[in-house]
Amino acid sequence: MLIECPFCHTRAQVQDSQEGAKVRCGDCGRIYGARPAGTSKSSSKSNPTPYVIGGGLVVVAAILFSVINNHEGPPPAKKPETRKVEVVNNSMGWESEAVLAVRGLYEAVAEGNRTRLINRISGEQVLAAEQAAAAVEGYEGPPPSTNALWGALKGFERTPLVEAWAESMLDATNPNAPINWTPFDGKIQRQGGDEYVMHIQCTPADGGTKAKVFEWILVQEGGTMRAAAWGEYIDPDSIKKQFSGGSMKGIEKKTLSDGSRVHERQPEPLAYLDDTPQVLRDEIEGLFETIINMELTKEISRAKARLIEIGKPAIPRLLTGLYELPIDTENGTDEDERKIQNVVDVLRDITNQFFGFEPLLLEGSGMGTTLERQQSSVKQWFAWWYKNSKRFTVAEKVDALEEALGELSAEDKRWLEMHPDK
């Protein structure tokens, strides 16, 4: 079938079965619907009878003329020059242009092709998405790569940002990074202008079977599909159910037997924060073992002070210890109570939080002495951490003594370091 570009009138040959398909002109590059040259949608629907009759009369006349004159007719018309066209895949599925672009990104990740990744990232769009997310009230994620607008950045300032985003795709320590996943299905969810939103189903690259869905947003810039955003897709209905049920991150609302209404979460061993270096982790482990060793009476105060100084990075280990230590003070020992008290002391000083249970301070007061209150206190600590761990920062504390006396001498500071409980 001969077709003709309605924009530049370049002709091309396609299969008859491809009539109506979208094709890209081999000359001007524009996309149009493939239809026989010289026809249109409106003409194809008109009544063909008059043309058939007229055409028949013309054919008969031509035959008679040929017989009467009995000589060669004019030379055959020259076949019009044609060019190749590209049939555009206009499906929304696995073989669509946008999904193929995402698959290409996963291939580049698997090959470690950083150059290709850098060239397929829309720096302007990624930065705008980061800044928009950080502006949402209650946002708990990382800050944007920069607060400056993309247009205000110079080339040498943009390059490291795009390189960092490419590296994030290759970060094997991030469980949701593309390097850890292999796509097997996907489709375009919606398209608006030059923006495509896709859901890509993946299985673990290490051979696991548990699938995840990732949402990719691509934009077309200068004829090239570039990544504007990517990350795990979470069904909005699931989020609504979690919020409505009060179980976001496993947190539940509870009413205790004394009428207290609290937020609880089941305790569990916690990992250190990702940015806590190994040397600091080792120090925290040693300090924790010190504050629960009741034989080290002199060292405990210094260890507690150092943990308070370390602050947020120590919280996961302290909460894990609170989870692991026996908390039944009715049947436990005085030593158990002192261990828990030391842990709670440090947690309170770091966080300025209190959840109704301090074994030694509340002894005989009737507060927090029931097993229900003791267990709930630990669960409340974990609920607080899961709600606030990303955005929590340790408030700067003013040394009241130093503020009152002015700058301390080196000798006085050494004395205070040796006597932190004073």
Which tens digits make up the pLDDT trace of 94-125? 889 999 999 999 999 999 999 999 999 999 99
Q: Within 10 A of 349 (CB to CB), how many other CB atoms are there?
A: 16
Q: What is the pLDDT of residue 279?
A: 93
Q: What is the pLDDT of residue 238?
A: 57
Task: Identify the domain containing residue 63 by its residue range.
Answer: 1-88
Q: What is the pLDDT of residue 46?
A: 42
What percent of the chain has a predicted confidence (pLDDT) above 70? 72
Mark whether 227 and 101 lie in a shared domain.
yes
271: in domain: yes
Query: Nearest-CA neighbor of 130 among 103, 182, 168?
Result: 168
Q: Which residue has the higher pLDDT, 17 or 58?
A: 17
Structure token digits, residue 275: 């940015």
Mark whether 162 and 200 lie in a shared domain.
yes
Q: Within 10 A of 109 (CB to CB), how many other CB atoms are there?
A: 22
Q: What is the pLDDT of residue 79?
A: 52
Which tens digits make up the pLDDT trace of 148-183? 999 999 999 999 999 999 999 999 999 999 999 999
299: in domain: yes
242: in domain: no
Q: What is the pLDDT of residue 418?
A: 60
Residue 400 has pLDDT above 50, yes or no: no
Mark whether 133 and 265 lie in a shared domain.
no
Residues 6+ apart with CB under 8 A from 144: 127, 130, 131, 133, 134
Q: What is the pLDDT of residue 14?
A: 81
Q: What is the pLDDT of residue 317?
A: 95
Query: How many domains are contained in the chain?
Result: 3
Which tens digits make up the pLDDT trace of 72-102? 555 555 555 667 777 665 578 888 999 999 9
Mark whether 275 and 380 lie in a shared domain.
yes
Q: Which residue has the higher pLDDT, 235 or 264?
A: 264
| Least reliable range by pLDDT among 90-94, 309-313, 381-385 | 90-94
pLDDT band at 53, cuts 50/70/90?
very low
pLDDT band at 5, cuts 50/70/90?
confident
Segment (H or E) for 191: strand 181-192
Which tens digits make up the pLDDT trace of 264-308? 999 989 999 988 999 999 999 999 999 999 898 889 999 999 999
Q: Which CATH number is 141's domain given? A: 3.10.450
Ordered DSSP codes for 50-61: HHHHHHHHHHHH
pLDDT band at 197, cuts 50/70/90?
very high
Mark whether 258 and 307 lie in a shared domain.
yes
Average pLDDT over residues 299-320: 94
Residue 323 has pLDDT above 90, yes or no: no
Boundary of a domain, candidates 29, 63, 88: 88
Residue length, the chain? 422
Using CA atoms, how far apart are residues 212 and 214, in angstroms rounded to an integer? 7
Residue tagged 């698997």 (tokens)? 110
pLDDT band at 404, cuts 50/70/90?
very low
Amino acid occupying residue 193: G
pLDDT band at 382, cuts 50/70/90?
very high
For the chain, give the mean pLDDT. 79
Mark whether 312 and 193 lie in a shared domain.
no
208: in domain: yes
Structure token digits, residue 293: 């060793």
Helix, strand, coil: what percent of the chain each, to 5? 45, 15, 40
269: in domain: yes
Q: What is the pTM of this model?
A: 0.42
Boundary of a domain, candidates 63, 88, 113: 88
319 phi and psi angles, rounded to 5 deg? -70, -40
Structure token digits, residue 115: 């150059």
Average pLDDT over residues 329-336: 65
Mark whether 267 and 362 lie in a shared domain.
yes
Q: What is the pLDDT of residue 399?
A: 47
